[in-house]
């Protein structure tokens, strides 16, 4: 029987397609609000995104999680609508309305049929400018979040992320990944209202619109809704320096009887605007970004230690990390660490192959147009460009930047940012079963109870 060799060969990548990005126009209101309009008339849809350069990192030290709570409660009542009325209005329009915060920025997002653009935009303005944070909603949100925290602390993934954030970021606000019970007990509606007033200011925000619209009438509506919004001084908080790392320290969070170990290995990384971003992106893609990367192929496909092993490139406005992660069977914790450090050292010590870099470039340049072909995908990318102060031509030059990376650059950034001897190692698992397995890979071990 003739062997069907084609089934074992990766198909050749398709020829690159032009992005055909729609033209954008940008203006600024008298109060400082930047407005970016991108016409896309392929479908009768419209997307709004009002983004602020203030996120979880801007939370007061005594109220960690304040941005998240404010985001959650912003749509729970305004001076003109109750929580129920907001929900009913969104449903009537067949629209979406949501608020979310990340470490570096907060955004109010809405979308729907373009025929309802004016009404959807008015909802965005209402929750942004006139949220009241009713006492009953604040109380309910705090009670629900208390329960959520209990559930989170039962999850090994959360415990690992929480400890790693503290280890890598120290006293920097990036070390806080969730509210605390003490914060929830102390939180008042006045805290929320004051925080919104101090962070939701027009001269620290951008309103992006992608979709079908008539530019002049839409801009007039934006002026009408937001022109009375008063500008204010933008606070420039001073953040603590990151802790330095000179050894490989291990933190074992004990979960007696656990059938698996959650492993996280981390080094300090880069900011989002670093010149090393694209070489690191290629290195990350080869090492552990997906199911064809080295870590996955080694720990899952060859060894069968885990369902998946990955790397993570976390580049934020002020700092970042480069991490390797997996959830492995308790009995193979030590063997998994051996393979992790083998791969981390190999990406440093050996140049990647021509096939690997070619495949990684094909993947990144091939998936990129898919990520921006929808209005949601495009506006997500455009918001990131504004919030992280990326170059205006980031989208049009992305594929060229990827294709320009060399094998020498990949090895250079691997040696700079993948430093196994200076890594932080967090493992959540049964300490009695894994302690001896972990010792060969640790300069110092700290046992923690959760």
DSSP per-residue string spanning 286-323: HHTSSTTSHHHIIIIIIT--EEEEEEEEEE-SS-EEEE
Percentage of residues of the chain with pLDDT beyond 70:
96
What pTM, to 2 d.p., does this model score? Answer: 0.93
The rounded mean pLDDT for the chain is: 95
What is the helix (H) or strand (E) element at residue 71, kind and residue range? helix 66-73
Q: Is the pLDDT of residue 13 over 70?
A: no
356: left (phi over 0), alpha (psi -120 to 50) or beta: alpha
pLDDT band at 372 (very low <50, low <70, confident <90, very high): very high
pLDDT value of residue 155 = 96
pLDDT value of residue 236 = 87
> Average pLDDT, stretch 18-30?
88
Q: Is the pLDDT of residue 5 over 70?
A: no
Instruction: Give the chain's largest Cα–Cα span.
Output: 78
pLDDT value of residue 237 = 86
> Average pLDDT, stretch 274-295?
98
pLDDT value of residue 2 = 52
pLDDT value of residue 449 = 87
> Average pLDDT, stretch 324-339?
98
pLDDT value of residue 387 = 97
C-alpha–C-alpha distance, residues 307 and 329, integer Å: 10
What residues form DSSP beta bridges with 110? 48, 97
pLDDT band at 362 (very low <50, low <70, confident <90, very high): very high
pLDDT tens-digit map of 175-231: 999 999 999 999 999 999 999 999 999 999 999 999 999 999 999 999 999 999 999
pLDDT band at 280 (very low <50, low <70, confident <90, very high): very high
pLDDT tens-digit map of 123-156: 999 999 999 999 999 999 999 999 999 999 999 9
Q: Is the pLDDT of residue 3 over 70?
A: no
- Going by C-beta distance under 8 Å and a sequence separation of 6 or more, which residues neighbour residue 17? 369
CB 190 within 8 A of CB 132: no
> Average pLDDT, stretch 398-420?
98
Q: Is the pLDDT of residue 234 over 50?
A: yes
Pair of tokens at residue 128: 């942004």
> Average pLDDT, stretch 314-343?
98
What is the helix (H) or strand (E) element at residue 140, kind and residue range? helix 135-152
pLDDT band at 1 (very low <50, low <70, confident <90, very high): very low
Q: Is the pLDDT of residue 7 over 70?
A: no
Pair of tokens at residue 235: 């606070």
């Amino acid at each position: 029987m003739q062997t069907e060799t084609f089934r074992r060969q990766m198909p050749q990548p398709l020829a690159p397609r032009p992005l055909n990005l729609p033209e954008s126009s940008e203006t600024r209101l008298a109060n400082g609000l930047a407005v970016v309009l991108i016409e896309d008339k392929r479908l009768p849809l419209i997307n709004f995104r009002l983004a602020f350069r203030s996120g979880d990192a801007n939370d007061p030290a005594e109220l960690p999680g304040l941005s998240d709570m404010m985001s959650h409660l912003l749509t729970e009542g305004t001076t003109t609508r109750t929580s129920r009325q907001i929900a009913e209005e969104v449903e009537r329009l067949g629209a979406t309305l949501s608020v979310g915060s990340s470490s570096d920025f907060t955004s109010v997002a809405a979308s729907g049929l373009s025929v309802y653009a004016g009404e959807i935009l008015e909802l965005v303005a209402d929750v942004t400018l006139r949220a009241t944070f009713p006492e009953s909603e604040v109380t309910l949100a705090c009670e629900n979040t208390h329960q959520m925290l209990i559930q989170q602390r039962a999850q090994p993934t959360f415990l690992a992320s929480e400890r790693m954030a503290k280890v890598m970021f120290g006293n920097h606000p990036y070390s806080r990944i969730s509210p605390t019970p003490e914060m929830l007990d102390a939180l008042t509606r006045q805290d929320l209202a004051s925080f919104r007033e101090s962070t939701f200011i027009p001269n620290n925000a951008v309103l992006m619109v992608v979709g079908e619209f008539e530019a002049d009438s839409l801009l007039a509506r934006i002026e009408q809704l937001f022109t009375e919004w008063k500008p204010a001084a933008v606070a420039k908080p001073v953040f603590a320096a990151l802790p330095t790392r000179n050894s490989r320290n291990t933190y074992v969070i004990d979960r007696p009887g656990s059938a698996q170990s959650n492993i996280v290995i981390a080094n300090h990384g880069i900011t989002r605007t670093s010149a090393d971003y694209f070489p690191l992106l290629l290195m990350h893609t080869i090492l552990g970004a997906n199911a064809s990367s080295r870590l996955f192929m080694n720990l899952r496909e060859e060894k069968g230690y885990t369902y998946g092993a990955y790397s993570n490139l976390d580049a934020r406005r002020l700092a970042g990390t480069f991490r390797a992660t997996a959830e492995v069977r308790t009995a193979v914790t030590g063997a998994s660490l051996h393979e992790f450090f083998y791969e981390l050292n190999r990406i440093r010590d050996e140049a990647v192959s021509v096939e690997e870099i070619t495949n990684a470039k094909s993947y990144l340049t091939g998936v990129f147009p898919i990520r921006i072909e929808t209005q949601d995908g495009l506006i997500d990318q455009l918001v990131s460009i504004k919030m992280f102060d990326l170059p205006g031509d980031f989208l049009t030059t992305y594929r060229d930047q990827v294709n320009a990376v060399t094998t020498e650059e990949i090895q250079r950034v691997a040696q700079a940012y993948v430093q196994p001897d200076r890594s932080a190692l967090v493992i959540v698992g049964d300490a009695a079963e894994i302690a001896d397995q972990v010792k060969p890979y640790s300069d110092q071990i700290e046992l923690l109870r959760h």
